Amino acid sequence: MVTKIKNFFEKFYLLIILAILYAPIILLIIYSFSNSANFNFSQGFNFKAYEAIFTSDKSPELWAAIGNTFLIATVSSVIAAVMGTFASIGIFHLGKRARRLVENVNQFPIINSEIVMAVSLMVFFVTFAFPQGYLRLIIAHIAFCTPYVVLSVLPKLESMDPNIYEAALDLGANPFTAMTKVMIPIISPGIMSGFVMAFIMSMDDFIITQINKGADTGINTLSTYIYSDARVQGLEPFWYALFSIIFIIMVATVFSVNFAKARKQKRKQKEANA
**What is the per-residue DSSP string for 94-127?**
S-HHHHHHHHHHHHHHHHS-HHHHHHHHHHHHHH
Nearest approach in angstroms of CB 116 to another protein is 5
Query: Residue 177 contacts by C-beta under 8 Å, 6 or more apart in sequence?
Result: 168
Helix axes 48-55, 237-273, angle to 10 degrees: 100
Q: Which is nearer to another protein, 129 or 274 (CB)?
A: 129
Nearest approach in angstroms of CB 208 to another protein is 10
Q: Which is nearer to another protein, 157 or 274 (CB)?
A: 157
Q: Give the separation between CA 258 and CA 66, rounded to whole angstroms.
A: 26
**What is the per-residue DSSP string for 221-244?**
-HHHHHHHHHHHH---HHHHHHHH
Tell me whether residue 138 is exposed, middle or buried, using C-beta atoms within 10 angstroms of its C-beta: 0 to 12, 13 to 18, 19 or more: middle
Sign of CA dihedral 107, 112, 114, 116: negative
| Closest to 61 in 3D by CA, of 73, 69, 72 | 69
Nearest approach in angstroms of CB 190 to another protein is 15
Q: Which is nearer to another protein, 168 or 274 (CB)?
A: 168
Nearest approach in angstroms of CB 230 to another protein is 5
